[in-house]
Amino acid sequence: MGFGPGLKTLSAWELGGGPAAADGRCLRGDPAPSAPGSWAAALPLQMVAVYGVISRGRPPSDSLSAWEPGGGPPPPLLLLVAACWVIGPACTRLALALPAHLLHHPATVPLSSGPIGAHSASTAACCQRRITDACHVPCHPLVEPSDNGPLFTELKFYQRAAKPEQIRKWIHTHKLKYLGVPKYWGSGLHDKNGKSYRFMIMDRFGSDLQKIYEANAKRFSRKTVLQLSLRILDILEYIHEHEYVHGDIKASNLLLSCKDPDQVYLVDYGLAYRYCPDGSHKEYKEDPKRCHDGTIEFTSIDAHNGVAPSRRGDLEILGYCMVQWLSGHLPWEDNLKDPNYIQRKIAGLMDKCFPEKNKPDEIAKYLETVKLLDYDEKPLYQNLQDILLQALKARTTTKKRKKEAEKRTEAGAEDMECSDAHTEEAMQTRKWTVSLRPLSAR
């Protein structure tokens, strides 16, 4: 299996746990095959991409640098850069691994220029039609200018806390069916036209919870809210144990799995904060410059006061989400531009959102438990889950009993109908017999 001359067009290529090539051998400078189409189908996509970059004799002016896979084989991300430099008849299948929007991303060469544009527009259009629905692609590339702070923060979180082997180990030791933390597959830097771009590869997901919430008249059932919150508590315990807090929990940052829509994942770690670097918790310190960080609608009391995010802040935000999902609103939504107004409205939250008698006691108890936590105190996640789990089981038991009662009522009604029918039939028989007696007497 041959490759074109030199690897100088790729810089700082580092494999994180996988072999250098699919067959376990290092890339060599063998002559390129004369007919690329004869071997493309047999090569993994990342090898086709590498071949495309190094075999055309047209090395790009810029180079891919600092590629750091996260423990697995290189995902289709390498195509992001490699496909910029070569698209041939055999490379049509390369484009099929890229999301449609990525072909026009600033970090890639436009279809109208360079080697990509050298091929027919119909081929490109065909590729794009076939990749419009890209949910089948297992990985999703995030690309931003390299000076984008949130993506850099997110990248650091993934590198430290979301490698596939870390997540697999946690799922196994905690006996979970799954964990709603996206896996980190790799990242890197790419320079193009004098601009530097940072890219990262994570799992691909489906719709976000906000769209489903709005499509459902901005209400979730109590059962749904409790089930969601239990899964989110699993996520928060994991990221907290890995020295991070999320800081921006909300429905739009909760995505459904493409493979299993019953699984929900917490994404967007652009505001993630390392609250406990090397086991040392940050001190409580109010900073006016940091007041009201995060999504104002769900900002924690600590964030309102300019204090760095902590574990109790994440749990408080989840509580606000639960209240909104169940009641359909938060009492401060009518004036989100005034943080002081929001802080005043936090008092008496449950009474304002649930004015009737049917208040969710489990959410009130959850919020009270979180409110009692110290800034640097480790939450008892299992206790919080038990509060919600008991309510969920109680509702399930109540519904079962109600259904059983309804079945008994229906069965009783049927028995009564049968009894009435038998009684009526007996009465008619008696009348008929009585009416015959005079005839027989005669």
Query: 3-state DSSP call for residue 291?
Result: coil
Q: Considering the domain 205-394, what is its CATH architecture?
A: Orthogonal Bundle (1.10)
Cβ neighbours, 10 Å, residue 334? 10
What are the residue boundaries of the structural domains of the chain, listed by start? 36-203, 205-394
The active-site residue out of 62, 203, 248, 314 is 248
How confident is the model at residue 420, as a pLDDT? 62
Mean pLDDT, rounded, for 386-398? 90
Element (DSSP H or E) covering residue 188:
strand 184-192
CA 294 to chain CA centroid, nearest Å: 18
Identify whether the C-beta of residue 273 lies closer than 8 Å to the C-beta of residue 308: yes
Question: What residue spans of 162-198 are helical by DSSP H?
Answer: 164-173
Element (DSSP H or E) covering residue 65:
strand 64-65
Q: Between 381-441 and 361-371, two packed helices, what is the crossing angle to 10 degrees?
A: 170
Model pLDDT for residues 219-273, shown as the tens digit of each residue: 999 999 999 999 999 999 999 999 999 999 999 999 999 889 899 999 999 999 9
Q: Find the length of the chain.
A: 442
Model pLDDT for residues 176-186, shown as the tens digit of each residue: 999 999 999 88
**pLDDT surpasses 70 at 71:** no
Q: Is 374 a catalytic residue?
A: no
Structure tokens at 252: 């739009």
How confident is the model at residue 417, as a pLDDT? 63
Q: Which residues contact 243 (CB under 8 A, 6 or more apart)?
A: 160, 161, 274, 275, 276, 277, 278, 279
* Angle CA 48–81–203, to nearest 5: 85
How confident is the model at residue 292, as a pLDDT? 82
Identify whether the C-beta of residue 329 lies closer than 8 Å to the C-beta of residue 353: yes
Model pLDDT for residues 95-143, shown as the tens digit of each residue: 333 333 333 333 332 322 333 233 334 433 443 333 334 455 578 888 8
How confident is the model at residue 114, as a pLDDT? 31
How confident is the model at residue 407, as a pLDDT? 73
Residue 34, classified by CB atoms within 10 Å of its CB into exposed (0-12), middle (13-18) or buried (19+), is exposed
Distance separating alpha carbons of residues 206 and 332, to the nearest angstrom:
30
Question: Out of 11-25, 239-253, 334-348, which region has the weakest mean confidence (pLDDT)?
Answer: 11-25
How confident is the model at residue 135, as a pLDDT? 53
Model pLDDT for residues 33-64, shown as the tens digit of each residue: 333 333 333 333 433 333 333 333 333 333 33
Distance separating alpha carbons of residues 230 and 386, to the nearest angstrom:
9
Confidence of residue 414 (pLDDT cuts 50, 70, 90): low
pTM over 0.95: no
How confident is the model at residue 396, as a pLDDT? 81
**Topology of the domain comprising 36-203:** Phosphorylase Kinase; domain 1 (3.30.200)
* Mean residue pLDDT across the chain: 72
How confident is the model at residue 244, as a pLDDT? 97
DSSP letter for 297, please. Answer: G
The CA-atom distances, in angstroms, between 45 and each of 8, 78, 92 are 20, 9, 11
% of the chain surpassing 90 pLDDT:
46
Selection from 380, 377, 381, 350 nearest residue 365 by Cα: 350
The CA-atom distances, in angstroms, between 273 and each of 46, 166, 305, 393 are 33, 19, 16, 34
* DSSP, residue by residue, 263-329: -EEE---TT-B-SSGGG-PPPP---GGGTT-S-GGG--HHHHTTPPP-HHHHHHHHHHHHHHHHHS-
**pLDDT surpasses 80 at 24:** no
Cβ neighbours, 10 Å, residue 100? 15
